[in-house]
Structure 1
Amino acid sequence: MATRHQAERFALALTTAAGPLTILADVLGLLDEVAPNGVQMVTLLILSSVTVFLLLEVRRFEVLDRVERRLATLALDERERYGGVQRVHPEFPTTRVKALVRQARTEVSVLQTWMPNLDVLKEDLEHVLTAPGCVEVRILLLFPSSEVADLRREALRDMPTASTPVNVKDAIENNLDCLARLRAGLPTDHRGRLKVRLYNSLPSMAVYRADETYVVSSFLHAQLAISSPQTEIEGCDTARGAEVEKELDTLWQIGKDVELTDWRRSVGAMSFVRASV
């Protein structure tokens, strides 16, 4: 193989040098001694050499094509192997999620008990709701009078970062008040793009979705979901993406719409037979 490479380099160097040497020989009249049409003959000789060289390289090009196809196959295999998981963040990737929300083209969805970071994301939600297009924002929060809200409050009672116990009911209602103000500030024809529902069910996971990217975490004891490790998943057709999307759809179906123009009356009129599990 090394001998072949040396021969190829020598042939390439010789072919490259032949051009300037031919011109020089023609200027000096030396080609007339070879043949009346010396330039044409030497040109054909060079072209023939280049053609032969390229033909020798065709096999190498085919090898590169096979390598490229193999790499593409490996990329698909990796995507399936990890079920769409792209990375795991040690905590909520605020900068990343803010960018994903602003760049969304079809849908932004949130599944939470309540959103401790709503104030941080409020401007981004407002941006995507007022931007040209038809992006829909769906937010699912826990029914504030749910037994599950009381259980979550107990689970967060010993949270080391809280100076006072977390009141889950108050936190949800503060979210609703904030979302009502957000909706009221939207252009009239854009307000329908913000949809809020409450669910009375055991929370399975916290989800922030923008188009087909999901940031998912768990509800752990003594720790907010946004303070837990976050799994970023890409693709609703991947194993993990499809699982998260199914959960979002399930809770959206069992949830009840909140009329944000008077959310207290709307929530007060809600009745759930029992908490879904």
Structure 2
Amino acid sequence: MVSEVNGRRWAYLKRKGFDRGAVLLAATGLILIGSRYGSAYIQDLGLNLGADLLGVLAVLYAIRPFLNRAEARRESVLERFDHKDFITRADDAQRRIEILDSWMALLQGGYQRPFLTSLREALERNVEIRMLLLDPDARAAEQRSDDLLRRTNVVENIMGNLSSLHDFRQGLPENMRHNLDIRVYSTLPPVQMYRADDHMVVSFYPVNMTSSNATQYQTSPQSQLGTFVGSKFEELWDAHSTRSLGQYREIVIKVSPDEAEQLYRTQFVTVERSIYISGHRIAQDHVEHGVAGLPVRVEQSSAKGEIEAANSYLFHTVSPASERYLIVRDLFRAKYGHNRHEVLLQLVEA
């Protein structure tokens, strides 16, 4: 139920909506103009922030009619996300479950076991499950950490979620895996969404607070708000920068020591936009001449398997005595949960 304070806040926002919208629109225009002429870092940051502000504008105008109706139907507004209620609704789902979030508290603490149990039972009923979580390698993950004043380790939470989902998926029979699709996206969305059939819960990404602790709006996929949020989900799902869970966990390396090209699928991490791979097998295959300086090609593809780009690199061996080795090794541990990366190779642009 919406508190009296929340009621006054929304009344104020409705009165001031046009002025706030004009200010946000002007700020967005300035940021996008700056992103066109600034440095590479400023361009990336500007485009990301500009897209976020455009999303906020769209959400404000999409949700306003819903808020008006919610004032007369207050049971549609909750003070925070009800994890147990969503698990129950997942238990009852017959067609689809869809989740859009940075990371899920449902995969942590006491919620994890009943949630995964409900997902497995849903898959047994041939329910289609699609999940979108924030890519921990994306700058947007650092941006969200800043929003939370660095009090929450966003990257670690996402990595933990993705590791749990990988283990869960690996434990499923082959005939059940095709209905479970997990992807990671690279830009902050305007909303959080949890859907089970025709029940949808939507929230925002407030500053200084996780979205699950913010006000939640219960609606249906057919409502104006539900239609808007559903379209954002589909846009992110099909975005070129969105990766599958498999692509997040493994990279395909094509090594060309001579005319014969060798293909490797290996684990990797990203540090400051540099790619580091687990190179034990590659080093063994090239022990005679070594791996340093070997030409490498990496094809970047979308979650749908479409080739987006092909980049050329050279191998650089990371010294176990270096500080960088320790940083990369710890990231491998966080991402994969083990320490079997004696040989770490950096991909250096050719």
The equivalent residue for 1:102 is 91
Q: In structure 2, which of residues 227, 230, 243 is the aligned counterpart of residue 256 of structure 1?
A: 243
Q: Distance in 2 between matches of 1:211 and 1:136?
A: 10
Q: Deviations over 1:35-64 (max 9, x none)?
A: xxxxxxxxxxxxxxxxxxxxxxxxxxxxxx
The equivalent residue for 2:134 is 142
Structure 1 residue 194 and structure 2 residue 186: aligned?
Answer: no
CA pair 232-133 structure 1, distance change in 2 beyond 3 A: same
Quick one: percent identity of the two aligned structures?
Answer: 26
Q: Distance in 1 between matches of 2:199 and 2:219?
A: 6
Worse-matched range after superposition: 223-232 or 126-135? 126-135
Give the TM-score normalised by the residue count of structure 2. Answer: 0.48
Aligned partners of 1:130 and 1:190 also within 8 Å: no
The equivalent residue for 1:208 is 194
Give the superposed CA RMSD: 3.1
Greater strand share, 1 or 2? 2
Structure 1 residue 238 and structure 2 residue 223: aligned?
Answer: yes
Shift of residue 241 of structure 1? 1.4
Q: Distance in 2 between matches of 1:271 and 1:175?
A: 23
Worse-matched range after superposition: 242-251 or 181-190? 181-190
Shift of residue 173 of structure 1? 0.8
Larger-Rg structure? 1
Aligned partners of 1:85 and 1:231 also within 8 Å: no
The equivalent residue for 2:114 is 123
Q: In structure 1, which of residues 144, 154, 175 is the aligned counterpart of residue 146 of structure 2?
A: 154
Greater helix share, 1 or 2? 1
Aligned partners of 1:217 and 1:229 also within 8 Å: yes
Q: Deviations over 1:122-164 (max 9, x none)?
A: 5334334344421111110111111111111111116xxxxxx
Q: In structure 1, which of residues 82, 85, 90 is the aligned counterpart of residue 79 of structure 2?
A: 90
AA matched with 1:256:
R
SS of aligned partner of 2:125:
coil
Aligned partners of 2:80 and 2:216 also within 8 Å: yes
Q: Deviations over 1:204-256 (max 9, x none)?
A: 1111111121111110111000011111112x222111111111111111122
Aligned partners of 1:129 and 1:137 also within 8 Å: no
Q: Size of the alignment, in residue pairs?
A: 189
The equivalent residue for 1:169 is 155
Unaligned runs of 5+ in 1: 1-77, 159-164
> Which of structures 1 and 2 has the larger relative contact order (alpha carbons within 8 angstroms, sep 6+)?
1
Q: Distance in 2 between matches of 1:95 and 1:117?
A: 9
Q: Distance in 2 between matches of 1:266 and 1:129?
A: 29
Aligned partners of 2:91 and 2:121 also within 8 Å: no
